[in-house]
Amino acid sequence: MLKSNRFKRVSTGGRSLTVQKNALESNEINAKKNKAVFGKAFVMNILSSPGSGKTSLLESIVPALKLEGFNAAVIEGDVETDLDKKRIDNLGVPAYQIITNGTCHLDAKMVNVSLNSLDIKNADVIFIENVGNLVCPTSFNLGEDMKVVVLSVTEGDDKPLKYPAAFYKSKVMIINKTDLLPALDSDIAKIKENALSINKELIIFETSCRKKTTENIYNKGIADFVSFVKEKIRIKAAEFQKQNI
Amino acid sequence: MHEFSIALEILDTLEENGYLDGVKKVNSVKLAIGKYSGIDKNYLEFAFQNLSDERFKNVFTEFVPNDSDEIKIIEITVD
């Protein structure tokens, strides 16, 4: 285990320069550029560990928004493949795949490049599916309006305590795969309690993306989240219009 | 292991703001690291020392913890 206490050494001297700057200043500059390009579209940066169901969630949400006349676009982040983009392509919305070639997160510059190719002129909402990782993506602002953390019930109720940054920085937590609860000892109340202990303002949705579920209760969370997204789209569009009059 | 990316971002920020102009060696970097920043301090020092920029090869890192999510460069010492 790499856990030495090596940080109490005194420096070897030299000229001291006071800096007092955000260490991620250059990423912030690109994030601001992205925000300007996003325009009226409401942008969600979706974080989670691998396999929590981010793409399945988009497969549930995007058609529901489309049915009600809202246009979505999707930026997919993946270490190695374009498998997720192919799934999004089936939904008939503009999508762009960023393959990071081993990098464990998306940064603002990668998104900046993707915006040269992705058609977002009609988009009301843009979903950025980050690389599956609950640590690294939390450090990088992509110019989004909101981070959303997805946690599946199979991951255990202690996840928010073990990976606090993702829950601290997100405005929404989606507890996914709730259809599996009867087969698990996972305690949904405990998941919420732990997440709210990190960020008491988290807005929480419980979802299932199973396509063949017979019980409507599993899909209520999807409907609630779609309503939430629609409201955010309207607010962002109104603010954008106000600023550009 | 995004600490390499963070180290590169810090290098960019220092370079773009002129702090490394004429600098032959960076002796230390003092950072404020929030507890929600998602940074592993050991890996960040390792990342600095393995940047392609040789001026950071023997850099010492000093971290000032706080309760935020920030990553801020407080001070550097250079030759």
**Which of B6, B9, B16 would you mutate first to test chain A, the one with the most A CBs within 10 A?**
B9
Chains A, B: CB pairs < 8 Å: 122
What is the ipTM for the molecules in this complex? 0.91
Residue A6 lies in a domain: no
Q: Where are the beta strands (DSSP E) in chain A?
A: 15-22, 42-48, 72-78, 95-99, 125-129, 146-152, 172-176, 203-206
pLDDT digits (tens, 9 = 90+) for A97-137: 999 998 899 999 999 999 999 999 999 999 999 999 999 99
Contact B77 A18 (CB under 8 A): no
Residue A52 lies in a domain: yes
**Which of A1, A3, A8, A11 would you mutate first to test chain B, the one with the most B CBs within 10 A?**
A11
Neighbours of A217 (CB within 10 A): 11
Q: How confident is the model at residue A218 (pLDDT cuts 50, 70, 90)?
A: low
Q: How many helices (H) and strands (E) does chain B have?
A: 2, 3
Domain of residue A99 covers 25-243
Residue A211 lies in a domain: yes
Q: How many structural domains is chain A composed of?
A: 1
What DSSP designation does A145 have?
Answer: S
**Scanning the structure block, which residue is given the tokens 């464990």?**
A104
Contact A23 B61 (CB under 8 A): no
Quick check: helix, strand or coil at residue A172?
strand
Residue A20 lies in a domain: no
Percentage with pLDDT > 90 across chain B: 70
pLDDT digits (tens, 9 = 90+) for A137-192: 999 999 999 999 999 999 999 999 999 999 999 999 999 999 999 999 889 999 99
A41 Cα to chain B: minimum distance (Å):
26
Q: What is the CATH number of the domain that holds A79?
A: 3.40.50.300
Residue A3 lies in a domain: no
Domains of chain B: 3-78 (3.30.2320.50)
CB A53 within 8 A of CB A152: yes
Contacts of A26 in chain B (CB under 8 A): 9, 12-13, 16
Residue A5 lies in a domain: no
Residue A4 lies in a domain: no
Contacts of B14 in chain A (CB under 8 A): 19
B73 Cα to chain A: minimum distance (Å):
5
